[in-house]
Chains A and B, each alone.
Chain A
């Protein structure tokens, strides 16, 4: 690899090399009137409505995985966090922390992915930062932080604390795809299959649900910690009980198989393009109807319902007809020995 094919410490020096990097990589793909001014801070125009603001950092390893890369994730993750609050995503910041040695071609692929998703969602990158850090033992890494500003849709009040008795729980598609795809790639498990991350921006899918403010009580994207952690958050914040049925959980056979091999519970595995939707039982059909009209919602289905007792608990009826508690994973789920 030639010296000018990779990121060098000089790219972070704030001089010509940094300027060229920003011009040739960032502005070329993501440029817009606000960003192009390259001011110290972006001046943005927002209506006098509820603003929603979020931030997230992305450290996925490897940065490319089947079905996406760290750039897709960095936009989708933050966009989805805004959407889960009932907001239309408007503006993003983009901070890159690059380890020296990263091939410029990799950086370009990541930025192109960011461009594609921002165009798809209709969100603009309006400010950013680039830093280069030493490689240490392992070079060529990339970390990204994005913050997002969105505007809450009129009349919408969705929150994890809004679930009430007799609501139903809907998941917008299959569970665990992202976590298993990344693990297969990272650990070189060599599982030959169509395991692909589900990384996707959810604005297009969820927008339709927010047009009628009374349709939805809670939205949650089951990322780290998976569906289990998201359900526990809802049950605890809303002081209600959630009862799900194992038979109803949409899980791809290959995800089930990989989880079985590794001793992981698909309920605890991360998703990056799914949402849990909590809505009144009477609105269930209307919600499913909206979701199923979008390509990301074709597998949407009801997986359970909300009860009053025992508050804060998630219980699952199992395939065998028994019951068990669904809890938040303690830390990183470690693959078992045998």
Chain B
């Protein structure tokens, strides 16, 4: 089968059901892929894709950025971070601005680079900004364990790790959007396994299909969700069978359970979602930047009053519905986090969808 055939099947499903179908792609990589591959332009008019909360930078709250900025201002401190975080605005500044005015902020591609930095520069305090979902969590967990085992005294992680299924359920239970299915993230599911979405199906009655990132994968995922709607089912299915198993990567899961404790955490746009965060377990306190820098003065977090990132993340509105979109908020001068990350839905709409 090719994309055309699958799209034809989706069209016939939507005609049979004779109503508008709304599917949410949870993951930012899916959002970008749907634009980049032109998949959106191929879907029938009454089938729409809504971007979900799966862009790690986008859901990281302003308060976390403020904390990171305050740490960056401490003498002798190095902030090591994934590139996307640099431009996200905090309440009063952004890491990119801090770097331009002298803070030692370094972009890394892997937390291992940050760990090696700490080993190579023992006189510095290296703080890694641990954001992201189940995909990135295990490697960061490994650096935490490794730093403790090696007795490293200058490596810290500021954890804002989050877990996806809890956010999906929070989104449904808030009742703001009516969804006909979740296109579940491929990379996250390699770690968690597809069974992680069972509670979403069971408690919310919404079909879930784990899909890969090619146009064909996503089209096929949409077709599978449509078929479940036709048959009145709400089950977990896997389209991305070449990478995803039911149980996932058990070793990675064990590592995360060892290093992190589940906790309530704040998501941009959602507020606090119970048990959706991962904080560093007590036995690794020595590596926890939140403890090390506890007394630092941080401004009270404040988001731009007109920014609708939160609504975009919850699927309540589309990026162009925000009054600032493309006007005062652009990728070169972003106001909200969804415009910063290449995976953010505002950035994708701006780049591909105008």
Contact = CB atoms under 8 A, between A and B. Distances in A.
Interface of A: 187-189, 262-263, 265, 316-325, 327, 329-331, 333-338
A316 to B, nearest CB: 8
B3 A320 contact: yes
Nearest to A337: B82
B133 interface: yes
A190 to B, nearest CB: 9
Given A318-B215, A319-B215, A320-B38, A334 B87 contact: yes
Nearest to B42: A322
Contacts of A320: 3, 37-39, 42, 215-216, 219
B343 interface: yes
Given A263-B32, A325-B351, 19 more contacts: A263-B342, A316-B38, A318-B37, A318-B215, A320-B215, A321-B4, A321-B42, A322-B39, A323-B41, A324-B35, A327-B351, A327-B352, A334-B341, A334-B342, A337-B56, A337-B57, A337-B85, A337-B132, A337-B341
A54 to B, nearest CB: 25
B150 interface: no
The 3 closest A-B pairs by CB, nearest first: A322-B38, A330-B331, A320-B215
Nearest to B333: A330
B37 A335 contact: no
B135 interface: yes
B307 to A, nearest CB: 17
B77 to A, nearest CB: 15
B243 to A, nearest CB: 14
Nearest to B43: A322
Contacts of B232: none
B136 interface: yes
Contacts of B216: 320
Contact of A330 (B40, B56, B86, B330): B330
A325 B352 contact: yes
A78 B353 CA distance: 35
B208 interface: no
B83 A335 contact: yes
Given A189-B109, A319-B215, A325-B352, A334 B84 contact: yes
Contacts of B107: 187, 334-335
Interface of B: 3-4, 28-29, 32, 35-42, 56-57, 82-87, 107, 109, 113, 131-133, 135-136, 187, 215-216, 219, 330-332, 341-343, 350-354
A331 B331 contact: yes
A195 B215 CA distance: 27
Contacts of B82: 335-337
Nearest to A313: B354
The prevalent SS among residues of B at the interface is helix
A338 B109 contact: no
Contacts of B136: 337-338
A330 to B, nearest CB: 3
B343 A324 contact: no
Q: B29, B84, B187, B342: which has the most chain A beta carbons within 10 Å?
A: B342
A16 B261 CA distance: 66
Contacts of B86: 334
A128 to B, nearest CB: 31
B133 A338 contact: yes
A222 B109 CA distance: 26
Contact of B41 (A188, A262, A324): A324
Given A189-B109, A319-B215, A327-B352, A337 B38 contact: no
B352 A338 contact: no
Q: B35, B41, B133, B332: which has the most chain A beta carbons within 10 Å?
A: B41
Nearest to B353: A325
Contacts of A337: 56-57, 82, 84-85, 131-132, 136, 341, 343
A242 B184 CA distance: 35
Contacts of A189: 109
Nearest to B354: A325
Contacts of B353: 325
A189 B83 CA distance: 14
Nearest to B27: A338
A335 B109 contact: yes
Given A324-B352, A331-B332, A263 B343 contact: yes
A93 B341 CA distance: 40
Contacts of A329: 331
Nearest to A260: B213
A62 B232 CA distance: 58
B238 to A, nearest CB: 19
30 contacts: A263-B342, A265-B36, A317-B38, A320-B3, A320-B38, A320-B42, A320-B215, A321-B4, A321-B38, A322-B41, A323-B41, A324-B36, A324-B37, A325-B351, A327-B350, A327-B351, A330-B330, A330-B331, A331-B331, A335-B82, A335-B107, A336-B343, A337-B57, A337-B82, A337-B131, A337-B132, A338-B56, A338-B133, A338-B135, A338-B187
